[in-house]
Structure 1
Amino acid sequence: MDVVTKFAHHSDIEDWMALVDIVEDYFPGLEKEEYRKSLKECIEKQEAICAKVRGQIVGILLFSTEQSILAFLAVHPAFRKGGIAFHMIKTMISVFPSGKEIWVTTYREGDPKGEGARALYLRCGFVPDELIVEMDYPCQKFVLHKRLEKQFD
C-alpha cells in the first residue's frame, strides 16, 4: 500500500471532513463547524497533515506548534494498524524545534476507545501525564518530553 503523507491544502477540506464524519463517534463533543474553521486555520499555518492512499484521505492530524499540542488524529477504520498514524506523527514532530515538549490528550487507561491511541503514543515516545476531564469525559494527557528521533528510524 503506497501511503503519501503531506501537509493538507484547502482542496483537501471536503475529503478531510468526510473522514471526520466517519470517525466522529470517537471524539466526544466534536463540533463540526468549529472544527472546519480550525482546519482551515491549521492549513494556513501548515499544521494539518493528511495521509492518502490512491488519492483518498485515510489519515488526518491537526497540531499547533504555538501550543505544543497534537490536537486531532484519526485514521479511517479500514486503514488502521498500517503505520499511517505513526508516519503522520513523525512528520508533525519534524517541524517542532529540538527539545520542545509536545502533548496530546487521549482516553484513560482501561477505556476501550483509547487502547490503540495509547499504544501508539507510547510507541512514539509519549509518556502518560496528568488525568484530566475534557468535554465531561475522563481523559489523560500524554507528553513527549523531547524529540526522540531514534524511535522513528
Structure 2
Amino acid sequence: MGSFHVLPAAANDILPWLALANEVEYLFGPMLEFDAIPARKVMEKRAYCVSSSANRLAGAMLLGGSDSGYWIRWLAVSSASRGRGIGTALVTTALKAFPPRSSVYVDTFVDDTLDGRAARRLYERSGFTPLSVVCDGGVQRLRYFRETPSDRKEDYGSEANLLSHKS
C-alpha cells in the first residue's frame, strides 16, 4: 500500500470522477444528470478526491449545504482502493471543511443494502448517528447526523489542512 493525499478536486479530475461514479452506480442507483455536478462542485471548491493514477480516482466526495446544515453529498471509494482508510480521510476532510459546531448530514444505504454496510460503519466510526430513513428519488436512504467539533481554527482552506496519509 502507499501513501495518499486528499486534495481539492480540479478540472482534470472530472473524467476520472465520472468513471468512479459509473463503477459505484449499482449502489447509488441511477444518477440522472450527475455528469454536470462534479464540474460545478469543483468550481465551488466543494469537491475533494484521492488520485490513484493519472486517470483514476481512488476516492472522491462532494460537499454542500449552508449554515442551516452541511452535507456530505456524495462519497465513493473505488473497489480497488477500499480498506486503506480513504473513506475515513475523506470524511475527516469534510468535517474540517465545515465551520465549528455545524450540523453535518449524510444519506447512505439502508440496512438491507449489503454492499452499503462498509459505508454505514464508516459514518458511525466517524461519530455520525442514524436519524431516519428518507426516500430520495424512490430509493430509501438512511440519514446520519453529527456536529463538527468546536475546538479548531476556522482556516479550512489552507494547504496545512489537507490530509496526507500512509496506509
Q: Do the two structures share a fold, i.e. TM-score over 0.5?
A: yes
Residue in structure 2 matched with residue 59 of structure 1 by the alignment: 59
Residue in structure 2 matched with residue 137 of structure 1 by the alignment: 139
Residue in structure 2 matched with residue 18 of structure 1 by the alignment: 19
CA displacement at 1:40 relative to structure 2: 1.1
- The 1:21–1:111 alpha-carbon spacing in structure 2 relative to 1, beyond 3 Å, is closer
| 4+ residue runs over 3 A deviation | none
Residue in structure 2 matched with residue 86 of structure 1 by the alignment: 88
CA displacement at 1:127 relative to structure 2: 0.4
TM-score, normalised by the number of residues in structure 1: 0.89
CA displacement at 1:19 relative to structure 2: 1.3
Q: Is 2:133–2:142's contact at 8 Å kept on the other side of the alignment?
A: yes
Q: Is 1:61–1:72's contact at 8 Å kept on the other side of the alignment?
A: yes
> What pairs with 1:102-117 in structure 2 (closer than 5 Å)?
102-117=104-119
Corresponding letter in the other structure for 2:25: E
List alignment gaps of at least 5 residues for structure 2: 152-167
CA displacement at 1:148 relative to structure 2: 7.8
> What pairs with 1:117-136 in structure 2 (closer than 5 Å)?
117-136=119-138
TM-score, normalised by the number of residues in structure 2: 0.82
CA displacement at 1:36 relative to structure 2: 2.1
% same residue: 24
Q: How many correspondences in the alignment?
A: 148
CA displacement at 1:43 relative to structure 2: 0.4
C-alpha distance in 2, partners of 1:13/1:131?
A: 31
Matched, 1:36 2:35: yes
CA displacement at 1:53 relative to structure 2: 2.6
SS in 2 for 1:113: helix
Matched, 1:3 2:14: no
Corresponding letter in the other structure for 1:3: F
Corresponding letter in the other structure for 1:73: L
